[in-house]
């Protein structure tokens, strides 16, 4: 088997939107109502095969508390994918997601793949509608997915859509030698121009 393409993913959003729950559902197919708030950052990885290609996702789950904000730049500055999460029942979390997006545009990689995620869709008191999320994602050429980590809705589809973006741009993923770190080729991404997104 060939060496997997290593893809660095950072997940951003305000505290309590369910970032850790999304990652734990995807990695372990597990949801814990008593999950502790992330302090600083947490790291998880997942190796998988998709459309005949091998990938290793290195996922950085960042803390949402304001005091940890400056640390996030350490994790997103060389990321290949950023997932921005908000809670559909909390209007302030949608504003917080936009603030993270603004920071990412100013300080993050120029051609990063962006995904906007509205989480907790199982809740009955939805304030931010799916249309709100779709409009914002479309405006910024981003993937959009409405999810429920609790009920396992939209989680795998979110990461499949990210994988499609990687694979739909042949040459954007560069397979390195076994002794090297396999990363997305920044030069190729620049040459390819704007990466196509999906929104559904």
Close Cβ partners of 34 (under 8 Å, ≥ 6 residues apart): none
Q: Is residue 199 part of a domain?
A: no
Q: Find the helix or strand (DSSP H, E) in which 138 lies.
A: helix 130-139
Q: Is residue 37 part of a domain?
A: yes
Q: How many domains would you assign to the chain?
A: 1
The 10s digit of each residue's pLDDT in 35-61 is 655 544 678 999 999 999 999 999 998
pLDDT at 12 over 60: yes
Q: Is residue 19 part of a domain?
A: yes
pTM assigned to the model: 0.81
Q: Which domain holds residue 33?
A: 5-192
Q: What is the CATH number of the domain that holds 128?
A: 3.40.50.300
Q: Is residue 200 part of a domain?
A: no
Q: Is residue 108 part of a domain?
A: yes
The DSSP call for residue 181 is -
Q: Is residue 141 part of a domain?
A: yes
């Amino acid at each position: 088997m060939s060496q997997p393409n290593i893809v660095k993913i950072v997940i951003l959003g305000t505290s309590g939107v369910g970032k850790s729950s999304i990652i734990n559902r995807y990695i372990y197919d597990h949801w814990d109502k008593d999950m502790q708030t992330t302090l600083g950052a947490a790291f998880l990885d997942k190796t998988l095969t998709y459309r005949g290609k091998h990938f290793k996702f290195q996922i950085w789950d960042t803390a949402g508390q304001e005091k940890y904000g400056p640390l996030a730049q350490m994790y997103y500055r060389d990321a290949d994918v950023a997932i921005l999460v908000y809670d559909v029942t909390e209007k302030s979390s949608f504003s917080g997601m936009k603030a993270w997006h603004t920071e990412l545009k100013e300080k993050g990689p120029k051609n990063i793949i962006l995904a906007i995620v509205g989480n907790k869709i199982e809740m009955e008191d939805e304030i931010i509608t799916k249309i709100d999320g779709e409009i914002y994602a479309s405006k910024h050429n981003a993937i959009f997915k409405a999810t429920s980590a609790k009920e396992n809705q939209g989680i795998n589809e979110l990461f499949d859509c990210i994988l499609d973006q990687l694979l739909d741009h042949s040459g954007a993923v560069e397979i390195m030698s076994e002794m090297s770190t396999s990363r997305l080729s920044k030069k190729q991404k620049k040459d390819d121009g704007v990466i196509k997104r999906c929104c559904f």
